[in-house]
Amino acid sequence: MEANNVSDSQLGVIAIQSGVPGDLTSCHTAKVGGYIVEGHVPAEDIQRLLKEKPAIAGIAVAGMPLGSPGMEQGSTKQSFTTMAFTKDGKRSVFARH
């Protein structure tokens, strides 16, 4: 496994080049098992992605919703959706939290 810290502008370029729709970009981009994982995606969604291996480019959680991984604030939680996306821009709901 390799991790690289990049500037915010570089991160945006990497996300767009990886096929992440502009409105789904966030502050973290990872390449996992041939998929793009963007934002504060729960581990169980990544595990499901790797198990099911759907024909998509990746999954994303837009923004930084309270209660998502890394954004915990005690018992305060916002509802959020993990979206699946394809390289040609199609998207669908992958999971609701």
Overall pTM > 0.95: no
Q: Does residue 24 surpass a pLDDT of 90?
A: no
Return the percentage of the chain with pLDDT > 90, whole number: 45
Mean pLDDT of 3-20: 74
Q: Is pLDDT of 9 > 90? A: no
Predicted confidence (pLDDT) at residue 1 exceeds the cutoff of 70 = no
Q: Which of 54, 51, 63, 65 is nearest to 94 (CA)?
A: 54
Residue 61 contacts residue 81 (beta carbons within 8 Å): yes
Give yes or no for residue 41 having a pLDDT over 90: yes
Whether 95 has a pLDDT exceeding 70, the answer reads yes
* HEC readout, 46-95: HHHHHHHCCCCCEEEECCCCCCCCCCCECCECCCCEEEEECCCCCEEEEE
